[in-house]
Amino acid sequence: MDLHVGMIGLGRMGANMARRLALGGVDVIGFDPDAAARAALAGTAGCSVVEDMAALIHALPSPRIVWLMVPAGEHTEETIAALAPQLLAEDVIVDGGNAFYKDSVRRAVELSSYGIRFVDCGVSGGIWGLQEGFALMFGGSPAAARAIEPVIRLLAPSPDRGWLHCGPSGSGHFVKMIHNGVEYGMMQSLAEGFALLKGKAEFGLDVAAVAEMWRHGSVVRSWLLDLTAEFLREDVELSEIAPLVADSGEGRWTVNEAIEQGIPAPVLSLALMMRFSSQGKGDYADRLLAMMRKGFGGHKVTPIAEDKS
């Protein structure tokens, strides 16, 4: 069967997803408000780009599949609001961004009034997805899931693995939210472990060699460890990298979910707190601690000019 997909949002993930679909024989129509993003995809075999969403909808045969890879929040809300009146019953909107799952539940209900099928799809794979395939976890009605399954099978690492119809609307983004919370914890534990190895100066450990050794047969082997070993081989000191780690909404949502359910998730919570700390959000509290020590014990406070860290 001929497959046609409209891809809205041609950033790193969206453009690579479009390319992978095109390699699988899909006719991809792409749109992005950024002309440079459109131009970067325009030369790809199997992909064409249009100047606006109306042209994208016009170019797709019915029933349409329109896949969104736009930032969660306002951008997603505005894009869906603009799309909905232009689509027909049984057309499918797939939100592949990292949206909050409760927003996805609401959007599915709102779009059902138009007869439009909505799929919330968590996508993992990063910049390696084009080559290795994307992990896809999606929610929606059985009819919506059936409509996009041929597309899912092409995007996934293989047709029979790396994807899951998780359940009703919202479940895909919920599973992706928890996935990202787990990711925070795994990253934090690896980072702390390698910091301890590097800190044991008297052993003179080759941290890069340890990372490489752990990749083979160890119970902590993982893709994150593979990536860590790769960049440590190039630069074990990382002296040019600022010690600042951004956090996205999914980590916060995961911790809030743990609180709502009353389920303890200390590792995920602390991993999020460490990201806040790296952003300097703990600096004022640290200053207060220094002053408290001075107040009760007369301990020296270090002025900023003397702080060499």
The C-alpha atoms of residue 300 and residue 285 are separated, in whole angstroms, by 17
Burial class (CB in 10 A: 0-12, 13-18, 19+), 302: exposed
Closest listed residue to residue 69, CA positions, set 23, 2, 112, 20: 20
List, by residue number, the catalytic residues. Answer: 176, 183
Written as one letter, the residue type at 187 is M
Q: What are the tokens at 34?
A: 């950024």
- Measured CA to CA in angstroms, residue 303 lies from 285, 286, 294, 309 at distances of 15, 13, 13, 12
Q: H or E segment at 164? A: strand 163-167
Distance, in Å, from the CA atom of 292 to the CA atom of 206, rounded to the nearest integer, reads 40
Nearest CA to 7 among 62, 57, 63? 57
Per-state percent for the chain, helix, strand, coil, to nearest 5:
55, 15, 30
d(CA 70, CA 94): 11
Contact 45, 101 (CB under 8 A): no
Residue type, 283: D
Residue 180 gets the label, from left (phi > 0), alpha (psi -120 to 50) or beta, of alpha
